[in-house]
A and B are shown apart, each in its own frame.
Chain A
Amino acid sequence: MCTIRCFEESVKRDFLNGEIPGFVHLYIGEEAIGTGICAALRDTDLIESTHRGHGHCIAKGADVNKMMAEIFGKKDGLCHGKGGSMHIADFSVGMLGANGVVGGGYNLATGAALANKMVLKNDTVSVVFFGDGASNRGTFHEAANVAAAWKLPVVFVNEMNCWASTTPYRTTTAVENISDRAKGYNMPGVIVDGQNVFEVYQAAVEAVARARRGEGPTFIEAKTYRIEGHFVGDPEHYRSKEETMEIFHRTDPLKLFKSQCPEGVVFEQEELDGILSAAREKIAKAKEYAVSCEYPDPSEYLTDVYAE
């Protein structure tokens, strides 16, 4: 969580300084979800991420140096500078990619689950992250239905952060909880506090175990709030900054962590501070690495279109 927070803060700073091209979408305040979910996964399990995907990528174990280099568009980045923030992937850790198309990941995760269960005959689990906005895509319906019908090992993780870009979810969505929709597919729908990494983790462990047992998909709705603008630079005229900051200070998962620890798990504040400063140092080095890397050779634009 600390690594994600520091990574995002660094990216925000560098983007505003004009060092990062394109757009970036930050995960600040939502760190507990990616962290809790990925903690329940094996390295070989697969995740489909979103345009707000740095947190998922880090949580799944991607190298932050190579991630940062990718976000800077460098040739040593995870995707050799071809993807950038919105299209970042690290197949070596089962991170099958962020997706620039909102709602683009469901079918990919479900298809991967189908292949693993029905064709390749292994017990790999797929996770797809998506926001409340993406839950209104038709692709959700097609994937959820297939996953449930064939009891595929998929975990649908809804990051219910209340905002679809600039549109509050209540103005476009009839259900109170996105997970209410799980019933329609005959799959369990679980609501967790997305600011509590332990609660998220617990739900993930259960969902992943169920998937591995061949009992099919689970829908986890993690309640959270999008603290940053839709993208860095979003003037956020559509909501009150004060309200957002009030929510952040009240629900910051990093601050709440100590109090949320289960019985018997005790962290000293110094220990926590140490973790945070280690993370800060790690990200500072990642940035240094990214800056030191070369941009891809212009001739590289032609490579990787086809495998053969």
Chain B
Amino acid sequence: MATELLMPKLGLTMTEGTIDEWKKKVGDSVQKGEILYSVATDKLTNDVEAEEDGVLLKIVVPEGETVPCKTLVGWLGAPGEAVPDGSVPAAASAPAAEAPAAAAPAAAAAAPVREAGAYVPATPYAKKLAKEKGFDLGQVPATGYKGVVVARDVLGFTPAAAAPAAPAVKASPLAAKVAADLGIDLSMVNAHGRVLAQDILAYLESSREKVADEPAREEVKPMSGMRKAIAKNMLASVQTSPTVTFNLGIDMSEMKRYREQLKAKEIKVSYTDLLVKFVAKALTEFPLLNCSVEDNKIIYKHYVNMGVAVALDNGLLVPNIQDADKKSLTEISAEVKELAKLAREGKLPPEKLRGGTFTITNLGMYGIESFTPIINQPEVAILGVNTMEDKVVVRNGEMVIRPIMNLSLTADHRVVDGSVAAQFLQRVKSLMENPALMLA
């Protein structure tokens, strides 16, 4: 019996999903575990695997369409099997027992074209028959289980050579020889009446010109599911939040020392890890930067789920460290590493992408000195981290060189006024310049 393919519910909060891409065409055979299609949610794109072997019989929801979870999106089943709405996919044959041989030609038209030299899955008996008949198995359309070439396919197959010949192209003997030597199909050559050798040379010239054409100057490619999600979320964010960005330089001397001390004790942490820890502490003191807004109501969060933006080859994800304010630096460090790894491998569980209360985004490694990050909704602030550079600063009336790092805080002015944002940033600065305050 054909199996329903339903829009999956990927996590507790997912209510609907968009078919981002069908990875299989109708009539393609699919093995258990192969990816059937990808689903985009507002957070990320997930691949959906086939639960059993079969053939994709029908696509009900096309690419780009959004449907609620548990909606029927397609059908998987045996080749030729009818789906419950009564339709029989064109690519499949009628049940074998009834008229196996007669069914094959019908299938031929829709048979997937195989790449030359590709392995042709065929049953041993089909191979034996093809060998006896001198057929190239690669030319035989498959209607068997899992898209395998079976005996009836071979028995019902008419090879191209034996098909009614196309009207013969008239050519001079020399033209025929030249065409044969150069491997040119005579029917492709323009000629007035009989094809002459010169016509073939002209054809060769014109085909070279085509090769020499410049590459296309533009190219249209559909957005990937993740790209679409990012585009949608970023646009929604700027449309939702009136933002102000605040920049403040931090003297990282103490942080550097602190990090060296930890290193000496075999505890290796990154500046991002340190920022997560220190900013989380500051957030517990500034609840307005750790809230969200809904219908004229402010929802204060008595926990800090610190989002850390992770850049990927094709986009960006923001997994968060839950209860970052209650975790030790080593716990945070381990978790940041693990989340980044999972994100890059595409294995991030959806729940790690939900429930963030604040985000840190670090572009320091690219030498950026200042930027205006966009808030990760429904949060109300995001901290951009910039490069750390030795700068000449004045301390006690003297010029000294200190490692300075700029922080760029973007805050939602609906709830975070300038003074609040500034005090928060001040507090982060003082904690980082005096790590001992963490204990206070």
Q: Indicate whether A and B are direct neighbours in the complex (CB within 8 Å).
A: no
Interface set of A (CB-CB < 8 Å, partner B): none
